[in-house]
Structure 1
Amino acid sequence: MYLVLMMVSDLVISGHGVDEKSLVTLLGKWDPLERESFRKKTPHLFSEDHERHFQRWDDQYVRLLKHEFVRFKNAVVLWSMHPWERDARLVKEALKKGPNAYGVLIEVSCTRSSEELLGARKAYHSLFDHSIEEDVASHIHGIERKLLVALLSAYRYEGTKVKDDTAKSEAKILSNAIKNAHKKPISEDDEVTRILATRSKLHLQAVYKHYKEISGKNLDEDLDDLRFKEAVQCLCTPQTYFSKVLNAALRIDVDKNTKKSLTRVVVTRADIDMKDIKAEYHNLYGVSLPQKVEEVARGSYKDFLLNLIVRGG
């Protein structure tokens, strides 16, 4: 019986969904004495009120349990949305949450095509009667505002032509800017922002290659500014970026906002580059992404995620 109690406890507080079928099977069969036994033997979920003689839920775990049940619903809703609306709502939510969520703004602005980003801006107009650029500029007052407004305003060339000499020259500009960051922070360098916010992704990948030839290290490795580092990763090595986001989200001991990244990444990349993300995830962490999700997630939420991951090839 004690093992069963622990099993139910684990289902409740897994942190990545709830195994609804197991809960229904186990709890639905318990009589009042068995439910009382469960309450008494799981003190991390219930506390004993000795004066009034009953066991009361820990409010923190009530909120957690509600949140775990809602993960599947949120994933289905996000998947069902038009991609433009989905990105617009992701941007709005990130602005409400504040600096810890600004990476989502980088993600949306740098991993979508020019048409997809334009569509998100159109949807944002329709949903919120403001422009994305307007809200970013009015809500964000830190040093990252200039970069974020520039990235979210971008409409990049998506053809195949790349001027290698220009890419090499701009790699040198970035190298010099990083070397002199102690004199002038990267966030204040207009040339760095111009390069990241206006150049095509193929051009930036050429810049990335030339930068390594110049410095011996990858561009994102040399950047200390988090937003610029995220922007370079999303623009030049998105599969690596998404693999790292997924790995952080699949940890049990992280905050709920980090865990939500699992839903966001799987839903938004399932039809885009999930095959490449899976390959890179395995390369970085030595385990397949489906296997990791299978180990960590629970119930309908897990099944839905695995379906989308497999769908991606």
Structure 2
Amino acid sequence: MALNHELEAVTQALSGHGVDERSLVTILGKWDPMEREAFRKKTPNLFIEDKERHFQRWDDHYVRLLKHEFVRFKNAVVLWSMHPWERDARLVREALKKGKACYYGVLVEISCTRSSEELLGARKAYHSLFDHSIEEDVASHIHGTDRKLLVALVSAYRYEGSKIKDDHAKSEAKIIHNAIKDAHNKNKPISEDDEVIRILATRSKPHLKALYKHYKDISGKNLDEDLDDIRFKEAVQCLCIPQTYFCKVLDSALKIDVDKNTKKALTRVIVTRADIDIKEIKADYNNLYGVSLQQKIEETAKGNYKDFLLNLIARGSN
């Protein structure tokens, strides 16, 4: 009975985000060969039975996944310790090196949720680290419909003041509404509309938030709900409702059966927002999902990784 309980505990320690190092040390370290064999036989999701040669071997796919889980805590500590400029520069570089569109949301996130000075700092750090500019690497690595918007976003240096001209915001809300209708009617991508890109890439965030409200009055729907293009949708959310955007990213990352890239967003968001708006993100998360972010992390993450994340989100309570 005790062995069955330990088998379950070790399986749980290896399941989720990060690993429960304490349980692995306490239980695995004292198991004899027979107990380790029992573990291999009773966890077919981790081990494959070689019936011809009569032994159990690790599933290679799971070993690769487990390597990511063991380094999750280390990666979080390293990312947290970096200067924010270097952190963003390295996140951009990693997204570009992956070479797949599913990683490009990181570029939108960084270019649209940082201040103008922070984004400029990331561009400086990128120069220092990689002897290239972010703009040239985005332009040379990304092809297709995403390129024009992403180059414009990473190149932005927005007005940071609070002054807006409400009539201009309303006028541009109409421009975007008409552009979306036109794109739907003519079955052409919104990514070809230079005017929409200009507005999203150059206007101040207070201006865009006012535009977002006017759009709702005009359309009856939120701007991001009317957009089919994922990159434009992410840009609008990051610029106009960033805390809601981060909550959605966190909720996806905290699901058990998601891919490693989606899981990585948990570290990225908690680390990059801990000193900025984690308090607001926690409040929005609770409102959206009916559970606290702390509780969700407690349920999903493991070991030192979990403890580190909880310490970071607790900063927003100070």
TM-score exceeds 0.5 = yes
What SS is found at the alignment partner of 1:127?
helix
Which region of structure 1 is more displaced relative to structure 2, 25-34 or 255-264?
25-34
1:195 offset after TM fit, Å?
0.4
1:36 offset after TM fit, Å?
1.7
Percent identity over the alignment is 81
1:62 offset after TM fit, Å?
1.7
2:305 maps to 301
1:110-189 aligned within 5 A: 110-182=112-184, 183=186, 184-189=188-193
1:29 maps to 30
1:213 offset after TM fit, Å?
1.1
Match of 2:243 among 236, 239, 246: 239
Distance in 1 (CA, whole Å) between partners of 2:191 and 2:37 is 58
1:217 maps to 221
Distance in 1 (CA, whole Å) between partners of 2:143 and 2:40 is 48
What SS is found at the alignment partner of 2:175?
helix
Q: Does 1:226 align with 2:230?
A: yes
2:20 maps to 19
Counterpart amino acid of residue 278 in structure 2: M
Counterpart amino acid of residue 94 in structure 2: E
Question: 1:98-156 deviations in whole A, cap 9, x for unaligned?
Answer: 21100000000000000000000000011111100000000111111010000000000
What SS is found at the alignment partner of 1:48?
strand
Distance in 1 (CA, whole Å) between partners of 2:76 and 2:30 is 30
Counterpart amino acid of residue 277 in structure 2: D
What SS is found at the alignment partner of 2:183?
coil
1:72 maps to 73
1:52 offset after TM fit, Å?
3.4
1:54 offset after TM fit, Å?
2.6
1:46 offset after TM fit, Å?
1.9
Q: Does 1:10 align with 2:12?
A: yes
Distance in 2 (CA, whole Å) between partners of 1:49 and 1:253 is 26
1:194 offset after TM fit, Å?
0.5
Question: 1:209-228 deviations in whole A, cap 9, x for unaligned?
Answer: 11111111111111111111
CA RMSD of aligned residues (A): 1.1
1:15 offset after TM fit, Å?
2.9
Please report the TM-score for the alignment, with normalisation by the length of structure 2: 0.96
1:76 offset after TM fit, Å?
0.4
Distance in 2 (CA, whole Å) between partners of 1:229 and 1:38 is 46
Distance 1:50 1:217, change over 3 A: closer
1:90-129 aligned within 5 A: 90-97=91-98, 98-129=100-131
Distance in 1 (CA, whole Å) between partners of 2:229 and 2:41 is 50
1:49 offset after TM fit, Å?
2.9
1:277 maps to 281
2:82 maps to 81
Distance in 1 (CA, whole Å) between partners of 2:203 and 2:48 is 58
Question: 1:217-255 deviations in whole A, cap 9, x for unaligned?
Answer: 111111111111100000000000000000000001111
Counterpart amino acid of residue 121 in structure 1: R
Distance in 2 (CA, whole Å) between partners of 1:290 and 1:157 is 35
CA contact (8 A) 2:9 2:23 kept: no
What SS is found at the alignment partner of 1:252?
coil
1:60 offset after TM fit, Å?
1.6
Counterpart amino acid of residue 137 in structure 2: D
Distance in 1 (CA, whole Å) between partners of 2:171 and 2:10 is 60
Query: What number of residue pairs does the alignment pair up?
Result: 312
What SS is found at the alignment partner of 1:205?
helix
Distance in 2 (CA, whole Å) between partners of 1:84 and 1:295 is 32
Please report the TM-score for the alignment, with normalisation by the length of structure 1: 0.97
1:57 offset after TM fit, Å?
1.4
Counterpart amino acid of residue 202 in structure 1: P
Counterpart amino acid of residue 64 in structure 2: R
1:51 offset after TM fit, Å?
3.8
Match of 2:296 among 285, 292, 309: 292
1:10 offset after TM fit, Å?
2.1
1:44 offset after TM fit, Å?
2.0
2:60 maps to 59
